Amino acid sequence: MKRIKLSQSLLPGLKANIQFSFLILISILFSACAGQKAIPKNQIDSTLELASEQYKYMKDLLPDNMFPKTYYASDDRFETSGSGWWVSGFYPGTLLFLYEDLKDEDLKREAERLLKDLKKEQFNKSTHDLGFMMYCSFGNVNRLNPNVEDQEILMNSAKSLSTRFNEKVGAIRSWDSSDDSFLVIIDNMMNLELLFWASEHSGDNRYRDIAITHANTTMENHFRKDNSSYHVVNYNVNTGEVIGKRTAQGAADDSAWARGQAWGLYGYTVMYRETRDKKYLNQAVNIAEFMLNHPNMPKDKVPYWDFDADNIPNALRDSSAGAIMASALLELSKYVDKGKSKKYFKIAEVALSTLMSEEYLAKKGTNGGFILKHGVGHLPENSEVDVPLTYGDYYFIEALLRYKNM
């Protein structure tokens, strides 16, 4: 091969051009990375530190063997539950998230204190919420420090949850009924992750099959043409026939209750992660696009409690729906094409920035020790309205850690 000799007079200019092009490339790459992380790391870290201080403050307000639900500032009233209530796993789960990041042993010890009482729920067959209760708590314990005892607790929890599955309906029963009704709520999508773990851990695909069947039945019957979801679908337990659809915690049966949409978004993102079946990815994207393109989605990306509330823009926001949505979108952004990935990441970023603002983030020593303000539990029943919610805190901290680690 003939070697080409460059004139010595051309070399300095060529070197300069190469150096300039390299600097331009580095600048572009740096700008792209900087643009993706608009929330400063020190703001994330200071928020996690604040959350730690809040939960240490909350610890001293908790009666023995009671779990936090919410706090009413109007009459300085702290509301708790026993271990059998569906939110019991979120407080120890949040403590474990914070311990994971901050390595504060006080947080770990407080989580362990409550877990001693919570572990008896592994045998509770009267609730569909064992994923929330046991996987958000013991699941995080096992993730941080895998051990036989906690794995046995999780397996027993999955066994208990699977007893609520009905083959005729093809779903896990959510709420019990005295007649032939078989009630399934969209929230139940969040409990399937426990079943996937159980199959992977035990090698028994029965748990995985139950989760997939439930997700398929929900996908077929819960969603409207615009990809919004009903809250409750009622099946006939004997035939599996759909006999009614409603939205118990929303503004109306045909409305889009915001937290319900967020549960669906998160649940089908998990379904794709666990199965890699594209139909679940498409379902998650469809739900995301419904929420994010809705004309009533606020610019700051913290949803009104119901997308169809009759007093928008004066309707209450639901910080818990915003936190669940943000956490789900961060994971979903890893599975979609570049355009959607950038969109979902940015919207999660905006939502988290809003939740870290003074409007939503509690000051130290206030809010009963909870982190977020302005959650809406069950407005039609005037229950937990415009208050902090333990599950809002859990998914907020999960989202912050996901963002920080991305």
Summarize the confidence of residues 91-95 as an average pLDDT. Answer: 98
Concatenate the DSSP letters of all residues of 142-169 into one string: HHHS--HHHHHHHHHHHHHHHTTEETTT
H helix and E strand count, the chain: 14, 9
Summarize the confidence of residues 46-59 as an average pLDDT. Answer: 98
d(Cα 339, Cα 84) in Å, to the nearest integer?
43
Give the burial class of 178: count Cβ atoms within 10 A of its Cβ; 0-12 exposed, 13-18 middle, 19 or more buried.
exposed
Residue among 360, 261, 362, 346 nearest 305 (CA): 261
Q: What is the pLDDT of residue 15?
A: 44
Residue pLDDT, tens place only, 343-390: 999 999 999 999 999 999 999 999 999 999 999 999 999 999 999 999
The radius of gyration computed from the CA coordinates of the chain, to the nearest angstrom, equals: 24
Domains of the chain, start order = 54-405 (1.50.10.10)
- Of the pLDDT bands very low, low, confident and very high (cuts 50, 70, 90), residue 38 is confident
Q: What is the pLDDT of residue 176?
A: 97
The residues assigned a catalytic role are 129, 187
Q: Residue 328: is its pLDDT beyond 70?
A: yes
Residue pLDDT, tens place only, 99-154: 999 999 999 999 999 999 999 999 999 999 999 999 999 999 999 999 999 999 99
d(Cα 147, Cα 138) in Å, to the nearest integer?
10
Q: What is the pLDDT of residue 42?
A: 97
d(Cα 203, Cα 177) in Å, to the nearest integer?
33
Residue among 251, 145, 122, 139 nearest 194 (CA): 139
**Ranges 9-13, 48-52, 201-205: which has the least confidence:** 9-13
